Amino acid sequence: MTLDPTLREANIRDSVVKYFVDNINTTSGVPLTFDKSLSVPKVTGKQASQVDRWVNIDFGTLITDILSSQVLQIYVCTRKDNEGFRLAQLRDTVFGYLFDSDDAYLNGMRIPFYKSDSRGHSFWTLIGAFMVQDVDEGPRMEAGDETKFKILTVRLRFASKG
């Protein structure tokens, strides 16, 4: 029996990765990692100590049903940021990709949900959308290496076929 594309974890992960790479990394120029918590991303031409801002997205709980949900832990991180102002700016950038500012009710953003190509080609077939249901923002924290960070817990909801 074939699993419906809306229930495939690979499609869910690929779609989320594509959205954040296309927007946070490519459009906003912010280095991005996945499933690495506070680890500094490898940036071409820079040593880890030279990277002073980045975003990491960890995939959390996935619940599949007629109305499925995927939880993301988004780590917003800065270094060499004495007052935490750059952390606030980076947080605002990330929030800009989670909420539709044109929506009068500030509903969550609709993130495209694709069936990705399993053969390694870059073919994407739109099969739905993720709705950002809510974002829980943790306090500003500081790691031992003076990395300032916030964790945004994001719940994405999407329709699935069982």
| 155 close to 134: Cβ distance less than 8 angstroms | yes
Which amino acid is residue 162, in one-letter code?
Answer: G
In 35-104, at which residue ranges do the beta strands (DSSP E only) sit? Answer: 53-63, 67-78
Question: End-to-end alpha-carbon separation of the chain, Å?
Answer: 12
Residue-wise pLDDT for 89-126, tens only, equals: 999 999 999 987 666 555 667 899 999 876 665 678 99
Nearest one of 142, 24, 125 to 72, comparing CA atoms: 24
| 131 close to 110: Cβ distance less than 8 angstroms | yes
Query: Residue 113 contacts by C-beta under 8 Å, 6 or more apart in sequence?
Result: 6, 11, 12, 15, 126, 127, 128, 129, 130, 158
For residue 135, count CB atoms less than 10 angstroms from its CB and return exposed for 0-12, middle for 13-18, buried for 19 or more: middle
Which domain, by its residues, includes 154? 5-159
Counting every residue, how long is the chain? Answer: 162
Q: State the CATH number of the domain containing residue 117.
A: 3.30.2000.20
Mean pLDDT of the chain: 89
Per-residue confidence (pLDDT) for residue 3, from 0 to 100: 87
Per-residue confidence (pLDDT) for residue 79, from 0 to 100: 94
Per-residue confidence (pLDDT) for residue 152, from 0 to 100: 97
Per-residue confidence (pLDDT) for residue 85, from 0 to 100: 96
Q: How far apart are CA 48 and CA 23, in angstroms?
A: 22
Residues in the chain, pLDDT under 50: none
Per-residue confidence (pLDDT) for residue 106, from 0 to 100: 55
Nearest one of 38, 78, 31 to 58, comparing CA atoms: 38
Q: How many independent structural domains does the chain possess? A: 1
Percent of the chain at pLDDT > 70 equals: 91
Q: What is the model's pTM?
A: 0.90
- Residue 53 neighbours by CB distance under 10 Å: 20
Per-residue confidence (pLDDT) for residue 57, from 0 to 100: 96
Per-residue confidence (pLDDT) for residue 162, from 0 to 100: 67
What the block records as the tokens of 64 is: 């599949």
